Amino acid sequence: MYFGGAVRRVAFVSGGPFHHLTMPTLRALPPLAVVNLLSVRHLTNKSPQRKQTMITKTKEIGKKMSIETVETTKKIKENTLAKSKELKESFSSMIPSEYHENIYTIPNILTFTRLLSAPIIGYLIVHNHVTSALSLFTYSCITDFIDGYIARKYNMKSVVGTVIDPMADKSLMIICTACMAQSHQIPMYVAVIILGRDVLLGLSAIYYRYVSLPRPKTFKRFWDFSIPSAEVRPTTISKINTGLQMVYIGSSMIKPVLIPYLTSDSSAMVLQGLFALEITVAISTILSGLSYVFSKDAVRILNKENAK
């Protein structure tokens, strides 16, 4: 083949003999599988602009593939998370929901000390150890605030805490009210209102504990507070009433110690203030009991299926 003033040889792939071909003769050949040396030379001598264009297109294709790969990976991840969530829900329906929570937290320990201190305070009141009884009563009131603060601040809330905290408050109020009524430090009608409400709430707590306890319902499991079954949520009026009762009981404790050191006018003012507090406590106690009867959120059973 003639190109650039020189004659080139062209070989057929079928193994035929070499022929000296000129350009017009090559054009007349049919489109067979021929190795065209001119085409090879043309491909190996590409211009720099064409090389740059190919590099740019290659980068664009790579970038597009990377974006598609990221999107595909994201979709696979979302589908995997959705499937794992479905599997988790299906497994949770098959596995029993009963569990034992940690009851040995600082708030619960403080609450247990309040439970233990209640009968000691009652003993001191009956035997007229007013100063010691008032000191231990003050400790109970302070720890009642501290354990709730720690539980909220450091996320140490527990189901058993929602049960034993009001239980400690009620134990303290019941014992102090009964002992002070026996020693004539508070009127009997106030003691009847406070004790009647707390007894009814105590019976309700026993009932809800029994109906909400997962099977088997045994005596040992009934008193195992690491098995949560129902959550008690004190109403707003109940919290106010608990505070008023503590102030009233504390004031009634300190009255025999404080009155002898006051003048007659000051003593009269203190007694009038105590009477007003007495009426307020009686009314708030009645309203607190009614709030538990009509409130739908005061008691929540944790697992209604296992409680049946």
Percentage, residues of the chain above pLDDT 70 = 75
- In the 8-state DSSP scheme, what is residue 12? B
Domain range enclosing 299 = 106-307
Confidence of residue 70 (pLDDT cuts 50, 70, 90): confident
On whether residue 50 sits in a domain, the answer given is no
Residue 255: CB atoms within 10 Å: 16
On whether residue 275 sits in a domain, the answer given is yes
Beta bridge partners of 20: 9
| Residue 237 scores a pLDDT above 80 | yes
What mean pLDDT comes out for the span 53-58?
Answer: 74
In one-letter notation, the amino acid at residue 36 is: N
If asked whether residues 39 and 125 sit together in one domain, one would say no
If asked whether residues 33 and 110 sit together in one domain, one would say no
Give the pLDDT confidence score for residue 50 in this predicted structure: 67
Helix 130-153 × helix 236-258 angle, to 10°: 150
On whether residue 125 sits in a domain, the answer given is yes
What mean pLDDT comes out for the span 270-289?
Answer: 93
Q: For residues 80 and 127, which has the higher predicted lDDT (pLDDT)?
A: 127
If asked whether residues 19 and 125 sit together in one domain, one would say no
Q: For residues 1 and 189, which has the higher predicted lDDT (pLDDT)?
A: 189
Mean pLDDT for the chain overall: 77
| Residue 272 scores a pLDDT above 50 | yes
State how far the Cα of 196 lies from the Cα of 171, in Å rounded to an integer.
13
State how far the Cα of 133 lies from the Cα of 254, in Å rounded to an integer.
10
Task: Count up the domains in the chain and report the number.
Answer: 2
pLDDT tens string 84-116: 777 766 655 554 455 556 778 888 899 999 999
Confidence of residue 216 (pLDDT cuts 50, 70, 90): confident
If asked whether residues 40 and 118 sit together in one domain, one would say no
pLDDT tens string 11-45: 444 444 444 444 444 444 444 444 444 444 454 45
| Residue 53 scores a pLDDT above 80 | no
State how far the Cα of 93 lies from the Cα of 82, in Å rounded to an integer.
17
Matching residue, tokens 């040992």? 220
On whether residue 55 sits in a domain, the answer given is no
Matching residue, tokens 């009269």? 268
If asked whether residues 29 and 125 sit together in one domain, one would say no
If asked whether residues 221 and 298 sit together in one domain, one would say yes
| Residue 231 scores a pLDDT above 50 | yes
What single string gives the DSSP state of each residue in 263-298? -HHHHHHHHHHHHHHHHHHHHHHHHHHHHHHH-SSS
State how far the Cα of 188 lies from the Cα of 177, in Å rounded to an integer.
9
Give the pLDDT confidence score for residue 305 in this predicted structure: 53
Residue 157, SS3 per DSSP: coil
**Spatial CA neighbour of 19 closest among 28, 33, 7:** 7
Residue 226: CB atoms within 10 Å: 14
Residue 307: CB atoms within 10 Å: 17
If asked whether residues 167 and 271 sit together in one domain, one would say yes
If asked whether residues 14 and 130 sit together in one domain, one would say no
pLDDT tens string 180-204: 999 888 999 999 999 998 888 888 8
If asked whether residues 30 and 114 sit together in one domain, one would say no
Tokens representing 27 are 């054009």
On whether residue 14 sits in a domain, the answer given is yes
**Spatial CA neighbour of 193 closest among 178, 205, 210:** 178
Give the pLDDT confidence score for residue 5 in this predicted structure: 44
If asked whether residues 183 and 302 sit together in one domain, one would say yes
CATH code for the domain of 237: 1.20.120
Give the pLDDT confidence score for residue 94 in this predicted structure: 52
If asked whether residues 133 and 16 sit together in one domain, one would say no
If asked whether residues 192 and 287 sit together in one domain, one would say yes
pLDDT tens string 113-162: 999 999 999 999 999 888 899 899 999 989 988 988 898 888 888 777 77
State the pTM of this model.
0.55
H helix and E strand count, the chain: 11, 6
- The answer to whether the CB of 173 falls within 8 A of the CB of 180 is no
Q: Which H helix or E strand runs over 19?
A: strand 19-20
